[in-house]
Amino acid sequence: MLWELFIAFLKIGFSSFGGGYAAITLIQYEVESHNWMSIPEFQEIVALAGMAPGPIATNSATLIGYHIGGISGAVISTLGVVFPSFFIIVIIATFLSRIHHNQWVKSSFYGLRPIIASLIAYAAIHFGFMGKSAPLLDWSTLATLVICAGALFGIIKYKMHPVTIIVASGLAGIILF
């Protein structure tokens, strides 16, 4: 079990180009294919991860690890998701500190970055509205959409800080649900 957790988060760490929000899709894929938890549980855990300071991918790893394997699960998953950063950065720093000016690297990022953009957009849909059983448009979906729209408005129009948004939406959740 611990080994599976470690390998899953290692894979996520190595492929999480574009950071946390792109990684949510990867994490959800692993969680679903291992049947580690139900989708509503997963959504709750990612919400919890967004509440805490620090990167959302690392936080989710810790929470999922704890959920599956207790304290050692949390430690193992966090190590798994952070180790690739360490490994890749040490290699780049040692051998190829000018790597981001390399033409091959630039070419591959030309193809990769639009895919990351799609992956993040997909995360919003998949993470946001999976696990909804019919009827598609019930009260809880509607309330989620309202909060989402409100949060978008606050961030774009008033440049509100993510923490303010998180706290406000938590309160809105208590009122609406």
Partner 1 sequence: MPTTTNRLQILLQLFWTFFRIGPATFGGGYAMIPLIERETVTKRKWIDKQEMSDLISIAGSAPGGVGVNASAFIGHRLGGIGGAIAAIIGITLPTFLIVFILSFFYVQFGDNPKLEAALKGIHGAIIALILIAAYKMAKSSVFDKTTVTIALSALAVLLLTEINPIIAIVSGLFIGIILVRIKMLLGIKVFTEKQPRRSKEEIVYPEYYI
131-150 positions binding partner 1, by CB under 8 A: 140, 143-150
Burial of 26 (0-12, 13-18, 19+ CB in 10 A): buried
Residue 7 as a binder of partner 1 (CB under 8 A): the answer is: no
- Judge contact between 65 and 49, C-beta under 8 A: no
Contacting residue, 8, 9, 25, 68, with partner 1 by CB under 8 A: 25
Q: Is 174 in the site for partner 1 (CB under 8 A)?
A: yes
Q: How many residues contact partner 1, by CB under 8 A?
A: 104
Site for partner 1 in 79-118 (CB under 8 A): 81-82, 84-86, 88-90, 92-94, 97, 99-100, 104, 106-118
Is residue 63 within a helix (H) or strand (E), and if so which, with residue range?
Answer: helix 56-95
Contact residue for partner 1 among 7, 34, 38, 121 (CB under 8 A): 121
Q: Which two tokens stand for residue 83?
A: 């180790």
Identity (one letter) of the amino acid at 140? S
